Every structure is written in structure tokens, then in C-alpha cells.
Amino acid sequence: MLSSALPLVLLLQSAAPAPKPDCSYDLDAMLALDQQAFDQDMDGGWRPLGQRDGCEAAAAELIREWRHAKRAHGSILYWHEGQMRAFAGQTEQAIALFNLTYTAPEEDADFGWNHYVSGSIAFLTRDRERLARSIEALKTVPEPEETSFTTPDGVVIQMDWPPNLNVLEAFDHCWEKTYREAYGTPECAAPEGDT
């Protein structure tokens, strides 16, 4: 009798739902942060929450809460909330937020942000032709003489040029995958020499 019950117990154990991730955070502490600390500190603000598996939607809600509490509606906050929503599979909300981040063409001529936005939306809307056009347009952005910058804490960062091309190419190489799977994962990166 015991041996016949064992497979049932194993089946029930394997069918048990995975434990929910701990997506808790101190809202008062988050709201006390200025925008630099909340959004740009790679080890602070919303980012540690967004890096926990299964907490992307909670991170998006935290960014939304912070934006509303601070009446801050800068495009980078919309972008980061949109990314968290895209990672969480909230595609329509992500697209709506990404659409809020376009800049005036004359302000974007030397960076290509709008091409990155367009390509990201193309991936989410499954418009491969639009993604290809965005990739090609991003490749035409002229490289400035200086592509490095210094962070507030004195770290010098050398930017790849054009910025975000690697992300759009990863979307193209992993077209059948989700945003979460395709975004910046090594297996989705462009093959060596394919730029």
C-alpha cells in the first residue's frame, strides 16, 4: 500500500506551486530618495527589486508610485517602468509607456534614442520590418568624438556606439522569444562580427 501511495505523493509535490517571490520593500524609504538615488543607483532605489525573479511587476508599480508621489514624469522613469512591465509580460502597458519617451527629432539627431524606442516597440508589437528599419537607422547615427562619460562617483564608462544597438540586434536574433528572454541575454547577442 505504501509503495502505491509514493507516486501520488511525488506527483502532488511536483504539482505544488512554486513559492511566491519576496517582492517587499520599504515604500517610505523609496519615496524619500531623490531621482538620482531612486533611478540611477545601480545597487539602490527600484533596481534591486526589479532584479529579483518574479518581482518585475512590483518594481514597475514602485516606479509608478514614486513618479506620482514626486510628480516626476521624465521619460527615463516612463522607460524604466515600461521595461519592468515588458519583463513582466504586461506588453500593452509597456508599449504605452515606451511611447511617452520619444524625444524631439532635433534633440535626438546625435544619439538615436527614438530609433531604440521604435525598435523596442516593434519587437513588442511583432513588427519585424519596423525593427529592421530601426536597427538600420540606429546604425546611421554619427559617432561623436567622445563616447565615454564619467559617473557622479568618478567612474569612467566607455559607451558602445551606437547606444542600444546590441539590444535591438538581440531582439532580432531572438525574435521568437519574449522581451524578458531576448533582452540582453548572451544567447541572444549578435554573433561576433555581425553588427
pLDDT band at 16 (very low <50, low <70, confident <90, very high): low
Cα–Cα dist 77/130, whole Å:
24
Cα–Cα dist 45/67, whole Å:
13
Buried b (16+ CB within 10 A) or exposed e, 163-182: bbbebbbbbbbbeebebeeb
Select, from the ranges 61-75, 149-163, 180-194, the one with the highest average predicted confidence (pLDDT).
61-75
pLDDT at position 78? 97
Cell 545601480 locates to: 42
Cell 539627431 locates to: 109
Please indicate whether residue 152 or residue 192 has the higher confidence score (pLDDT). Answer: 152
Cell 521568437 locates to: 176
Domain boundaries, the chain: 26-186
pLDDT at position 118? 98
